[in-house]
Amino acid sequence: MKLRVIYEPRGRAREYSQFAINLYNGCAMGCDYCYVPSVLKKKKVDFHKSSEYRKDILKKLERDLQDMQKMGLSKKLVMFSFTSDVYQLDDNFSILTREALKLFNKYNQPFHILTKGGLKAVRDFDLYKKNDWFACSLTFFDKEKSLKIEPLAAIPEERIEALKIAKEKGIKTWVSFEPILEAEETLKLYETTKDLVDFYKVGKISRYKVNVNWDSFANEIVDRLEKDKKFFFVKCDLRPHLQKNINEYKYHKEEG
């Protein structure tokens, strides 16, 4: 049975989730390091200048959720999303996100959301159940650096505040440290968020030039994660830089 809009990611994306869905075409956040335009063979300016709902997305999503129940996949997490952000632009635009989450609730299908939308996501926290996860991509601790590279994403302070609110509400949280743009910025973010985050995923970056000593960074971040007894996952591209062997997955039970 083939699904319509829920799909199985391939390659490095598979390290993030076994299943995923993209509600929108395009992303207005304008992140300079965004890899999606090259994957979709679009110019960056065209990809970022507009965003729109995918045609009949809710109707197709509901049919997919019904089929996942029939296929025995009702416990599999579905991730929002790889090729756009579900909390871009304003609240009126992302109302579709809330409607999609209501469908996940209706069919008891667990989800996890990865966003740079910050406090915009808080509106939907009432729709999270015990097996759902809220996640943020964190790149810069410094607000000005973030605004330069991720001009229409939420500032770091707001993303961290969203994690704090989620944690207070009993929602499980994770953070994506990918891309790593500056090692020290990521280490600051880790120290700031470690009491708010249940799980970390750490990777390098693709198609973007940065000045990072990967050997030094990989070992430093893993040392800190292990010292603090955090659950984490090191992506394949960063793992060769580690001096010690670690379990491939130090994973939470819900995903594996």
| pLDDT tens track for 108-160 | 999 999 999 999 999 999 999 999 999 999 999 999 999 999 999 999 999 99
Residue 75 has pLDDT above 60, yes or no: yes
Distance CA 114, CA 135 (A): 5
Q: Which residues pair with residue 52 across a beta bridge?
A: 25
Contact 98, 117 (CB under 8 A): no
What is the pTM (predicted TM-score) of this model?
A: 0.93
Contact 177, 201 (CB under 8 A): yes
Instruction: Report if residue 253 sits inside a domain.
Output: no
Residue 251 has a pLDDT of 44
Residues above pLDDT 70, as percent of the chain: 95
Contact 121, 135 (CB under 8 A): no
Residue 253 has a pLDDT of 40
Which of 173, 163, 22 has its CA nearest to residue 97? 22
Instruction: Report if residue 237 sits inside a domain.
Output: yes
H helical segments located in 73-151: 95-106, 143-149
Residue 206 has pLDDT above 80, yes or no: no
Q: Which residue has the tokens 């469908």?
A: 103
Instruction: Report if residue 18 sits inside a domain.
Output: yes
Q: Which residue has the tokens 């579709």?
A: 96
Instruction: Report if residue 49 sits inside a domain.
Output: yes
Question: Tens digits of per-residue pLDDT, 34-43?
Answer: 989 988 889 9
Contact 48, 196 (CB under 8 A): no
Instruction: Report if residue 23 sits inside a domain.
Output: yes
Residue 157: give its domain's CATH number.
Answer: 3.20.20.70
Instruction: Report if residue 136 sits inside a domain.
Output: yes
Number of domains in the chain: 1
